[in-house]
């Protein structure tokens, strides 16, 4: 520590001496020394620390009491001001209500003087005259325009259709504005089923066809000249069963298929198929 102090003194000795040689610094130091000599020592008050603590506590308590009293006085003054303001508002509202009542009475006297009876409380009931014609009901003309020749519609139908077409094109070019318009457009285009939804949407003429005409097709085979047994009968039975399970074919389309097969299996083909079937059975027995 002493070594550090010595090195510090050596490093700052020249600067310290230069500062002490300055006249301004010398005058400041002399003034401080004179003030220190002239100031008398402060005599001690002779109060003990415990007494000083009590005095401080009493001072704090008294300050708190004064603050509380001031706060209470401010609150009471504010409450009184609020009550006074409420009373003024109530008084003002009562005066305004009396003014409105008086204005209403004067308006009734001036506007409805003829409708008031003698006692001034009950008004007359006005009922419409049933003998007078009504402007809202009935198709009788009022006769305002006796000659309608100059009021005929002289617009050209072509231009009306042109305007409607332009409006439709404009609406389609802009597209739907919200999801509801989009669903309406899809419904009109047939992309979405209309409500209520069922499984008979857009059936067309098939809506009038009963279900048994689609399912029970074997009853039509008897009148087509087809054999009742054998391979042809078995084949036609399978054809009828397959078409009865097809929900996408109309009744007419199914009948066309049955008729086509009946024309295909004519008498010659029936005889040929019968012989082939017999030969097959003989071959099966011999084997």
Evaluate whether 192 touches 183 at the Cβ level (below 8 Å): yes
Residues 183 and 251 in one domain: no
What residue numbers bound the domain in which 275 lies? 205-286
pTM above 0.95, yes or no: no
**Residue 133 lies inside a defined structural domain of this protein:** no
Report the distance separating Cα 161 and Cα 122, nearest Å.
Answer: 61
**Residue 231 lies inside a defined structural domain of this protein:** yes
**Residue 244 lies inside a defined structural domain of this protein:** yes
Residues 220 and 272 in one domain: yes
Number of folded domains in the chain? 2
**Residue 198 lies inside a defined structural domain of this protein:** yes
Residue with the bigger pLDDT between 195 and 13: it is 195
**Residue 229 lies inside a defined structural domain of this protein:** yes
Q: Which tens digit of pLDDT belongs to each residue from 42-95?
A: 444 556 677 777 777 777 788 888 888 888 888 888 888 888 888 888 887 887
Query: For residue 255, what are the contacts with CB-CB under 8 A and spacing of at least 6?
Result: 220
Alpha helices in 40-139 (DSSP H): 49-111
Residues 191 and 250 in one domain: no
**Residue 111 lies inside a defined structural domain of this protein:** no
Residues 233 and 271 in one domain: yes
Residues 221 and 274 in one domain: yes
pLDDT of residue 42: 46
Q: Which tens digit of pLDDT belongs to each residue from 113-146?
A: 555 555 555 556 677 777 776 666 666 666 776 6
């Amino acid at each position: 520590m002493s070594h550090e102090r010595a090195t510090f003194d050596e490093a700052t000795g020249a600067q310290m001496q230069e500062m002490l040689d300055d006249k301004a610094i010398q005058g400041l130091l002399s003034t401080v020394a004179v003030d220190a000599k002239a100031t008398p020592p402060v005599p001690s008050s002779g109060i003990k620390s415990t007494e000083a603590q009590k005095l401080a506590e009493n001072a704090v308590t008294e300050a708190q009491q004064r603050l509380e009293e001031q706060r209470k006085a401010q609150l009471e003054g504010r409450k009184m001001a609020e009550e006074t303001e409420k009373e003024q508002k109530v008084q003002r509202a009562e005066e305004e209500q009396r003014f409105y009542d008086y204005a209403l009475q004067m308006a009734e006297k001036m506007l409805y003087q003829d409708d008031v009876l003698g006692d001034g409380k009950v008004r007359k009931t006005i009922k419409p005259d049933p003998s007078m014609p009504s402007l809202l009901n009935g198709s009788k003309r009022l006769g305002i325009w006796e000659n309608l020749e100059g009021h005929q519609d002289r617009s050209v139908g072509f231009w009306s259709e042109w305007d409607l077409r332009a409006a439709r094109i404009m609406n389609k070019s802009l597209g739907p504005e919200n999801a509801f318009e989009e669903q309406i457009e899809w419904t009109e285009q047939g992309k979405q089923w209309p409500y209520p939804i069922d499984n008979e949407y857009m059936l067309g003429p098939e809506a009038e066809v009963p279900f048994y005409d689609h399912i029970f097709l074997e009853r039509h085979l008897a009148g087509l000249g087809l054999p009742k047994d054998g391979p042809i009968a078995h084949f036609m039975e399978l054809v009828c069963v397959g078409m009865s399970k097809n929900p996408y074919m109309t009744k007419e389309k199914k009948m066309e298929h049955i008729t086509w097969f009946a024309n295909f299996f004519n008498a010659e083909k029936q005889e040929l198929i019968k012989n082939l079937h017999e030969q097959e059975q003989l071959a099966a027995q011999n084997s």
